[in-house]
């Protein structure tokens, strides 16, 4: 048994960051050009388990696909596309990658980490508000990882970003209502699953709202919810979240069990 365990551990370690030939599954065989290779960057397959959300309609089961567990710095669903895109960049002999996103883009953070793993330089164009575009963006959330791994960061205002060809417009993007943030906090308290504020939090919020409004539509159904990662984005919301979070206190030494100096209390 020990031999089997050792062998499988070795093969997991050996495959991480390796380049592998790729043959598309039959449902993707029409893709043209089809990718021919991938870099193994994610810890896949990610687990699926039952998600015991409170107040589900009768007979409704929710399961969760944990793509938030596809890695640590390189976590989330973005690693899946990067396995292909990075293999393509390397095959083309690229020495750097350039990408664009919002100031807390999970895609940009994952790209910066993947690029560093593969020894490519990474240039990030990050969209922020007019007021902040000339200021140090700090180290909150995704920015900490991007700056630690040495990505080159260029800030642009939303207006300038529009000019460089983005279609990522939309009033509500990366903005949350107090109710949504409270929902993310309540789900974590009830189930231990920490959603992200931009994607999975809003999706689960919408799903449960619809379940409450139209329970008959959901009764008896088995749902698979995909958690696409993005936990780091939550750090950008700490000011709004602090009043919702669990409390703390200064330990009261008078309250603790008195213990005579030199006496050891055995706990097991
Ligand atoms: C954590 C997270 N989930 C979901 C998405 C959306 O992913 P897709 O573009 O694959 O729909 C993003 C995109 O930036 C993301 O960062």
Q: Which of 159, 173, 164 is nearest to 100 (CA)?
A: 164
Q: Is there an atom of ligand 1 within 6 Å of 75 CB?
A: no
pLDDT at res. 153: 97
Atom of ligand 1 minimally distant from the CA of 68: 1
Q: Is there an atom of ligand 1 within 6 Å of 180 CB?
A: no
Q: Which two tokens stand for residue 162?
A: 């529009």
CA dist., res. 211 & res. 205, Å (int): 10
Q: Which of 69, 77, 198 should be mutated for ligand 1, with most atoms under 8 A from CB? A: 77
Q: Is there an atom of ligand 1 within 6 Å of 77 CB?
A: yes
pLDDT band at 262 (very low <50, low <70, confident <90, very high): low
pLDDT at res. 187: 97
Atom of ligand 1 minimally distant from the CA of 76: 1
Atom of ligand 1 minimally distant from the CA of 106: 16
Q: Which of 214, 177, 182 is nearest to 195 (CA)?
A: 182
Largest interatomic CA distance in the chain: 76
CA dist., res. 198 & res. 201, Å (int): 6
Chain mean position to CA 265 = 43
Q: Is there an atom of ligand 1 within 6 Å of 228 CB?
A: yes
More confident residue, 41 or 170: 41
pLDDT, average across residues 227-250: 92
- Beta-carbon count within 10 A of 19 CB: 15
Q: Is the pLDDT of residue 265 over 80?
A: no
More confident residue, 8 or 245: 245
In tens, the pLDDT along 141-199 reads 999 999 999 999 999 998 988 776 544 433 378 889 999 999 999 999 999 999 999 99
pLDDT at res. 106: 97
Strands (E), 216-259: 222-227
pLDDT at res. 264: 58
pLDDT at res. 162: 79
pLDDT band at 3 (very low <50, low <70, confident <90, very high): very low
pLDDT band at 94 (very low <50, low <70, confident <90, very high): very high
In tens, the pLDDT along 43-54 reads 999 999 999 999
8 Å CB contact between 102 and 168: yes
pLDDT, average across residues 238-250: 89
The sign of the torsion formed by the CA atoms of 50, 45, 234, 205 equals negative
Of all residues in the chain, the percent with pLDDT exceeding 70 is 87
pLDDT, average across residues 192-219: 97
- CB neighbour list of residue 235: distance below 8 Å, 6 or more residues apart: 140, 141
Q: Which residues are catalytic?
A: 105
Q: What is the pTM of this model?
A: 0.85
- Beta-carbon count within 10 A of 161 CB: 21
Q: Which of 106, 113, 195, 203 should be mutated for ligand 1, with most atoms under 8 A from CB? A: 106
8 Å CB contact between 44 and 87: no
């Amino acid at each position: 048994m020990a031999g089997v365990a050792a062998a499988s551990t070795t093969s997991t370690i050996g495959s991480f960051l390796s380049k592998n030939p790729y043959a598309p599954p039959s449902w993707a065989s029409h893709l043209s050009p089809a990718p021919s290779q991938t870099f193994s960057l994610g810890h896949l397959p990610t687990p699926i388990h039952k998600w015991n959300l409170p107040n589900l309609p009768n007979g409704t089961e929710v399961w969760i696909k944990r793509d938030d567990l596809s890695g640590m710095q390189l976590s989330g669903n973005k690693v899946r596309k990067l396995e292909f895109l990075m293999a393509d960049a390397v095959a083309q002999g690229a020495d750097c990658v350039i990408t664009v996103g919002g100031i807390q883009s999970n895609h940009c953070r994952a790209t910066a980490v993947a690029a560093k793993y593969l020894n490519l330089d990474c240039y990030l164009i990050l969209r922020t508000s007019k007021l902040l575009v000339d200021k140090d963006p700090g180290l909150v959330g995704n920015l900490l990882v991007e700056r630690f791994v040495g990505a080159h960061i260029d800030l642009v205002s939303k207006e300038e970003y529009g000019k460089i060809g983005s279609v990522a417009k939309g009033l509500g993007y990366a903005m949350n209502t107090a109710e949504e943030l409270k929902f993310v906090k309540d789900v974590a308290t009830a189930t231990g699953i920490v959603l992200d504020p931009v994607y999975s939090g809003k999706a689960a919020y919408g799903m449960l709202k619809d379940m409450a409004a139209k329970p008959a539509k959901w009764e008896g159904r088995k749902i698979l919810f995909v958690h696409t990662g993005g936990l780091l984005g939550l750090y950008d919301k700490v000011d709004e979240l602090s009043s919702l979070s669990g409390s703390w206190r200064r330990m009261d030494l008078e309250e603790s069990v008195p213990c005579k100096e030199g006496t050891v209390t055995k706990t097991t």
